[in-house]
Amino acid sequence: MPRAHPLKIVLATLFVVLCWAYSPAGIHIALQGYEPGHLALARFIVASLFMAFVAVWRGISLPRPKDLPLLILLGLFAVFGHHVALNFGQRGVSAGASSLLAQSTPLFTLLIGFFVLRQRVSAWHWGCLVLGMLGAAIVAVADRGLGTLDAHGLLVLLAALSWSIYFTLQKLHGHRYDGLTMVCYTVWTGTALLLVYLPGLGAAVTAASPQANLAVLILGVFPSALAYLGWAYVLSHSDVSRASMALYLIPPCAILIAAVLLGEQPSLLVVLGALVVLSSVLALNLTPGLSCPKPARQISP
């Protein structure tokens, strides 16, 4: 593949970061007019239609019948489980805190690697895990006031756990298809599972404000579709580890976007928890030993 100009790679990376950083604020705006289940379905109907256009344009292979259970599992954890839990969680968690809690995904992947895949985990990795979970607890508690452990923060962590399971499955079985094909079928199977929320969706769309409907459209096209294509371009022209480091810019950018669009101002304790979470995940990914994923997102945050 011809080497892309460095400026193009930087611009594509910035585009991806901004798309995924918008997602928490966009979810908060959309939740003003949608129930969490309806929001997840509406968003991924848009994403599915967009990915269908891309699939026809680029051409993807048909899935093998024996792979259908795997594709359904990928859709269950990456789309249904992750986004339903995230939407319900964000009803009581600020956009900035939600983005920070989502960075705990590599920590959950570490636990999956140890307990399920029987990978060796060093004392350093366990220390990073404990530190990261402590930071996540600080963010979850401090976001709505010290001394109040809101279950909504736990739902965002559940969304991160669901994403970790998806990431592990994708990492183990992703070789069966190319990246675009795998993501298309993951989006489509996840959208099919979300059809349980179809009753009442039409009424929700017509009753929602133009701002909420615009947020759904943006969420479906940019974080859930175009950002993946941009990320695939970045990874095809640069080192994976180096490119993944740029994704640590997502939480700070998400906080800035939430401040502009929603008027959110994170407390000092939330900022402290953010530093603890990001430091632990960064240390986890920069140390050799256990193969832990960088915070690479292939569908949406």
Q: Each residue of 93-140: pLDDT tens digit? A: 999 999 988 888 888 988 998 888 888 888 888 998 899 989 988 888
Residue 179 within a domain: yes
Which of helix, strand or coil describes residue 232? helix
Residue 62 within a domain: yes
Residue 300 within a domain: no
Residue 291 within a domain: no
The CA angle 151-81-22, to the nearest 5 degrees, is 80
Residue 206 within a domain: yes
Q: What is the pTM of this model?
A: 0.89
Amino acid occupying residue 111: L
Residue 292 within a domain: no
C-alpha closest to that of 232 among 164, 183, 190 = 183
Structure confidence at residue 151 (pLDDT):
81
Structure confidence at residue 289 (pLDDT):
52
Structure confidence at residue 248 (pLDDT):
81
* Residue partners of 274: CB distance under 8 A and separation at least 6: 100, 135, 139, 251, 255, 266
Report the number of distinct structural domains present in the chain: 1
Residue 298 within a domain: no
Residues of the chain with pLDDT under 50: 147, 290-298
Contact yes or no for 201/254 (Cβ under 8 A): no
Range(s) of the domain holding residue 227: 6-286
C-alpha distances in angstroms, 122 versus 129, 186, 242, 266? 11, 33, 23, 34
Amino acid occupying residue 214: L
Residue 107 within a domain: yes
Structure confidence at residue 146 (pLDDT):
52
User: CA 286, CA 301: separation in Å to the nearest integer?
Assistant: 22
For 161-188, give the DSSP string: HHHHHHHHHHHHHGGGS-HHHHHHHHHH
Structure confidence at residue 294 (pLDDT):
46
